[in-house]
Amino acid sequence: MKLSEHSRNRILETFKTWGVPKDFADPMYNYLVHGYSPGSCFTSVLANDFAGAIARSHPANTIEAFKALGGWINDTMPAEAFGSYKEVSDWCYLKGPARRKILEGLNLIYSVEDEMMLVLQGERTHEPVLY
Number of separate domains in the chain? 1
The answer as to whether 10 is a domain residue is yes
The number of beta carbons lying within 10 Å of the beta carbon of residue 109 is 25
Residue 129's pLDDT is: 87
Task: Report the distance separating Cα 47 and Cα 1, nearest Å.
Answer: 24
**Structural domain that includes position 42:** 5-120
Q: Does residue 97 lie in a domain region?
A: yes
pLDDT tens-place string over residues 80-118: 999 999 999 999 999 999 999 999 999 999 999 999 999
Residue type, 44: S
Residue 74's pLDDT is 96
| Residue 24 burial (C-beta neighbours within 10 Å; 0-12, 13-18, 19+) | buried
Query: 108 in a domain, yes or no?
Result: yes
Q: Report pTM.
A: 0.93
Helix axes 63-76, 22-34, angle to 10 degrees: 30
